[in-house]
Structure 1
């Protein structure tokens, strides 16, 4: 499956799921003073951006060191995305944010894993290993994704009041449905490439 710049951008936005993460984000910032929240949001988004850039540019070398093939990464990425999509469609009661957040969050849990989670890391790894010649495009797609996430999180309070939790939950399920189709496509592509290599 050919991945365009815009399809990569949409995929990354779906995976980071800023709209669906609004309630968790607000919970994580409950203990932060209102005047500091903007600074915390910008800091955490920058940290997540830096982590994903590291995976984008240096993850390929790690895979080579571990002697992992592109096909295995595509299958693994498809499985991870499928599990994330199922969780978006059928959210459980328990989450990493269900407990009380003590003080100001730093790196965990907002930057990692709320924004730069395992699925986002696997996706940027997949993009960089499949088509390393297009790193400038993948960097641009990641930059747009992080700008969208930052904007949504900065306006999270207003968006939650404006849309309401039922609308946010419905949007998350819709994004989960789209992500399910993408994950199946990725999984089938990895299996097909592996079978072709065997043949």
Structure 2
């Protein structure tokens, strides 16, 4: 019925959860709250969801417009995911963000929640899974993002710095494995 597949939704949801890394960004969220005051969780979550769903459906057309295909984008995306995973595992910063003056839509919705890694992942997932399952996984992740944004201070106190570090490194290893699988499954299509 409509291509709904619970296993796919769980798989996609876990991939997006690892890429979005909302738990790993709690220290950044706490810092933003201290710098800019109140964080509009509803606005940030809704904007991130709209960005992700729009890119899921319009991203492929955009790629055609610039003369590339989903498999090429997926291979390029596997490199982005690889470097994101290295950042998470090694605790280094490869991607430098520009300084912001507000914590509204930027930098929360974009690029923290719906950043380059998420966009790349969405198009890569679209080449392998049904769109309806991806949309459901996006919505589930956005609900989780909203909950985490609303309770970031409580989560930080509960897990502590060491707990957050362990979670971040664990999801980094998962993301690294996903990057390798994504590369292997799409690179073949480039040479066919």
Q: What's the TM-score once normalised by structure 1's chain length?
A: 0.85
Relative to structure 1, the CA distance from residue 60 to residue 168 in structure 2 (aligned partners, 3 Å threshold; closer, same or farther) is same
Once the two structures are overlaid, the 10-residue window that deviates more, 152-161 or 67-76, is: 67-76
Pairing 1:138–2:142 present: no
Deviation at 1:22, TM superposition (A): 0.1
Structure 1 stretches (4+) deviating beyond 3 angstroms?
93-99
Q: Paired residue for 2:76?
A: 76
Q: Secondary structure at the match of 1:171?
A: helix
Q: Secondary structure at the match of 1:31?
A: helix
Deviation at 1:150, TM superposition (A): 1.2
Q: Secondary structure at the match of 2:30?
A: helix
Give the one of 172, 181, 185 matched to 2:181.
185
Task: Answer yes or no: is the 8 Å Cα contact 2:74–2:123 preserved in 1.
Answer: no
Q: Secondary structure at the match of 1:80?
A: helix
Q: Paired residue for 2:4?
A: none
Deviation at 1:148, TM superposition (A): 1.0
Deviations 1:112-166 (A, max 9, x none): 11101100011112233445xx222111010011111111121110011111011
Relative to structure 1, the CA distance from residue 96 to residue 42 in structure 2 (aligned partners, 3 Å threshold; closer, same or farther) is farther
Q: d(CA) in 2 for partners of 1:146 and 1:27?
A: 21
Relative to structure 1, the CA distance from residue 93 to residue 142 in structure 2 (aligned partners, 3 Å threshold; closer, same or farther) is closer
Deviation at 1:30, TM superposition (A): 1.3
Task: Answer yes or no: is the 8 Å Cα contact 1:81–1:183 preserved in 2.
Answer: yes
Deviation at 1:96, TM superposition (A): 5.5
Q: d(CA) in 2 for partners of 1:94 and 1:181?
A: 19
Give the one of 143, 156, 159 matched to 1:160.
156
Task: Answer yes or no: is the 8 Å Cα contact 1:88–1:172 preserved in 2.
Answer: yes
Task: Answer yes or no: is the 8 Å Cα contact 1:28–1:97 preserved in 2.
Answer: no
The runs of 5 or more residues in structure 2 that have no matched partner are: 1-6
Q: What's the TM-score once normalised by structure 2's chain length?
A: 0.88
